[in-house]
Amino acid sequence: MDEDDLLAAYARRTGCGDLCAGTAPTLATLQRLITHHAAAIPFENIEVLCGRVPKLDLPALRRKLLDSRRGGYCFEQNTLFMAVLRALGFAVLGLEGRVRAGVPADVETGRTHMALAVEAEGRTWLVDVGFGALAPQRPLPLEAGGHEEHRLVEAGDGELLLQARTFEGWTDAYRLMPGRPRPIDYELGNWWVATHPSALMGRCLLVARSLDDGGRMTLFNRRLTIRQPLDGAPIERELRTDAEIADQLTGGFGLRLSAEDLSVVLAKLSLFAA
């Protein structure tokens, strides 16, 4: 795919045209790209709920996330973002992680998360635009340590545990694995997440995007949550009607859904509530 064409489509979708026009690959540029991306392209698993395995080739990702104004989950979001960053001159490698959010400590999880390692200003940074409500909203040095919102903790065997600070305190997000995965590893993880009966993505509706004030808006089935930055208490409410769900998906989250896909999502929500 032509890089200039990709960057033009990305700029239209995210509103970061100035950053996609010959900008130097600096840390400040990386921060602004993350901010624009997280606000414009929601995390969502509607493709899986509709019985489809998301495609990870760049033309398909461009059509879905950029031209069709949809969102996606980690494999889609971070594959697209990696291509954009490389087109802008950043050195980027993929990472693999084991999801720990909401998982009991004694339960082993597979390598079903994709994140990125980005070089900028002499350091390597963890970048992740595909982990929904717990994704870091800024580059994080890829080493033990952190800031007020996220931190990386040594977890043994060369692994790093990403933790996010919420209103309730620090919570585990995922464990980063050493080594460098190949594209086939992401294909396998993507297939498992989209098709395995026990995988979360097929058993609930998950949508999230960043807000202008640094907070997050998330939808878990019918529960809409507005998470305030840092210490602010979350605001929650139940969306009781299909019309409310449709309005949030297309209005609040800005997703462009076909009538058929919306119908499938609403039918699945009725099954989840049964």
Do 112 and 120 meet the contact criterion of CB atoms below 8 Å apart? Answer: no
Distances in Å between the Cα of 211 and the Cα atoms of 31, 36, 70, 144, 208 are 15, 10, 17, 28, 10
Write out the two tokens for 178.
């050493």
The single residue of 20, 36, 74, 150 carrying the catalytic annotation is 74
- H-assigned helices in the chain: 3-14, 27-40, 46-49, 58-61, 74-87, 183-195, 242-247, 259-273
Of 36, 37, 113, 150, which is the active-site residue? 113
Question: Is residue 106 flagged as an active site residue?
Answer: no
Residue 150 known to be catalytic: no
For residues 224 and 245, give the distance between their C-alpha atoms in angstroms, rounded to a whole number.
9
- Say which residue the tokens 């879905």 belong to: 64
**DSSP per residue, 177-222:** PSS---HHHHHHHHHHHHH-TT-GGGSS-EEEEE-TTS-EEEEETT
Q: Which of 20, 37, 128, 150 is catalytic?
A: 128
128 is catalytic: yes
Q: How far apart are CA 268 and CA 110, in angstroms?
A: 26
Active site (catalytic) residues = 74, 113, 128
